[in-house]
């Protein structure tokens, strides 16, 4: 579905942000991208949809080489790629509904977009998505009146308005409290499963990543140093990704979280206390 081949990015400063990154993501597969600050995680995500232009290498989406596309072809390809941002990237003065409908701009003509004349089907889809993400009845609220968790739900729904095949998710929980972070991660995973979406989730919280994301890719200094199951992330792997440190408390929290998870993704209150105390 998505394949990166020897992807490299060197900035004008000379810094090499990505070093020969090769990985593939199958249809419906969700992976977590972890690593220290400056490891190249956000750069990788932005290279996929060419918000950042790679220096070399190839990006194939459903067999199409995105790097070979001109402006028109890239606009078409970006319809298939939904982006969820850390800072939500909403237009604060617009309503929730208007922000959602902006996800259809790639399918709407210039003047229709300018005058906000959207198809009836698009509006119906927006109402349906608002209900699915838990924001039914909030379509007329301005974005600047929402909480952080509500804004992220709008961002998720807006990305889905594109009817994408791939989601690129950049730090979706960085500004959220622990409970809301878990709710947002659960929502993203459920929506990917329901819609058969592939996703790359850039996330700093290792415990949250290994709890919700079945496959983990670890970056360090622009290179992939781990690509495997979340269950395989142990002290040795964390040292490989982040460097020398006593990772005992982190791995204990990961184990406690895994043991306390029920089929619906909720943890036993006793294990919540254990994790909080670790």
Q: What is the DSSP string of 25-85?
A: E-TT-EEEEE--TTSSHHHHHHHHTTSS--SEEEEEETTEEGGG--HHHHHHHHTTEEEE-
Q: Are residues 19 and 149 in the same domain?
A: no
Q: Are residues 39 and 171 in the same domain?
A: yes
Count of the separate structural domains present in the chain: 3
Residue 87 lies in a domain: no
Tokens (6 digits) for 175: 């500004």
CATH code of the domain covering residue 241? 3.40.50.300
Q: What local confidence, expressed as pLDDT, does residue 240 receive?
A: 96
Query: What is the chain's mean pLDDT, rounded?
Result: 87
Q: What local confidence, expressed as pLDDT, does residue 276 receive?
A: 35
Q: Are residues 241 and 254 in the same domain?
A: no
Note down the domain range covering 253: 247-278
Mean pLDDT in residue range 74-81: 88
Residue 30 lies in a domain: yes
Q: Are residues 168 and 158 in the same domain?
A: no
Q: Are residues 131 and 268 in the same domain?
A: no
Mean pLDDT in residue range 64-90: 86
261 pLDDT above the threshold of 70: no
142 pLDDT above the threshold of 50: yes
Q: Are residues 2 and 69 in the same domain?
A: yes
Q: Are residues 59 and 13 in the same domain?
A: yes
Residue 35 lies in a domain: yes
Residue 205 lies in a domain: yes
Residue 188 lies in a domain: no
Q: Are residues 53 and 117 in the same domain?
A: no
Tens of pLDDT, residue by residue over 30-48, are: 999 999 999 999 999 999 9
Closest listed residue to residue 3, CA positions, set 45, 47, 62: 62
Mean pLDDT in residue range 94-121: 74
Residue 162 phi, psi (nearest 5): -75, -10
Q: Are residues 172 and 111 in the same domain?
A: no
Task: Please give the Cα distance from 223 to 234 (Å, whole number).
Answer: 19
Q: What local confidence, expressed as pLDDT, does residue 262 receive?
A: 42
Tokens (6 digits) for 210: 């290994």
Q: Are residues 210 and 168 in the same domain?
A: yes
158 pLDDT above the threshold of 60: yes
Tens of pLDDT, residue by residue over 166-190, are: 999 999 998 899 999 999 999 999 9
Q: What local confidence, expressed as pLDDT, does residue 117 receive?
A: 66
pTM comes to 0.86
Give the confidence band of 269 by pLDDT, cuts at 50, 70, 90.
Answer: very low
Q: Are residues 130 and 254 in the same domain?
A: no
Tokens (6 digits) for 30: 């969700």
């Amino acid at each position: 579905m998505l394949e990166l081949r020897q992807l490299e990015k060197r900035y004008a400063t000379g810094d090499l942000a990505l070093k020969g990154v090769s990985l593939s993501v199958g249809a419906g597969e969700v992976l977590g991208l972890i690593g220290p600050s400056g490891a190249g995680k956000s750069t990788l995500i932005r290279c996929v949809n060419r918000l950042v232009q790679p220096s070399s290498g190839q990006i194939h989406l459903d067999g199409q080489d995105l790097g070979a596309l001109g402006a028109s072809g890239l606009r078409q390809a970006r319809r298939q790629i939904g982006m969820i941002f850390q800072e939500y990237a909403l237009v604060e003065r617009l309503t929730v509904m208007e922000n959602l409908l902006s996800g259809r701009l790639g399918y709407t003509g210039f003047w229709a977009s300018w005058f906000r004349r959207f198809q009836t089907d698009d509006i119906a889809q927006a109402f349906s998505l608002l209900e699915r993400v838990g924001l039914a009845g909030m379509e007329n609220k301005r974005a600047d009146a929402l909480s952080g968790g509500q804004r992220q739900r709008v961002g998720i729904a807006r990305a889905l308005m594109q009817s994408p095949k791939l989601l690129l998710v950049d730090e979706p929980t960085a500004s959220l409290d622990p409970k809301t972070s878990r709710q947002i991660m659960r929502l993203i995973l459920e929506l990917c499963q329901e819609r058969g979406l592939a996703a790359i989730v850039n996330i700093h919280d290792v415990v949250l990543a290994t709890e919700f994301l079945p496959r983990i890719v670890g970056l360090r200094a622009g290179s992939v140093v781990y690509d495997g199951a979340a269950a395989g992330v142990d002290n040795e792997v964390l040292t490989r990704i982040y460097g020398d440190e006593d990772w005992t408390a982190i791995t204990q929290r990961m184990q406690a979280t895994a043991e306390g998870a029920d089929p619906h993704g909720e943890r036993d209150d006793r294990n919540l206390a254990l994790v909080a105390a670790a």
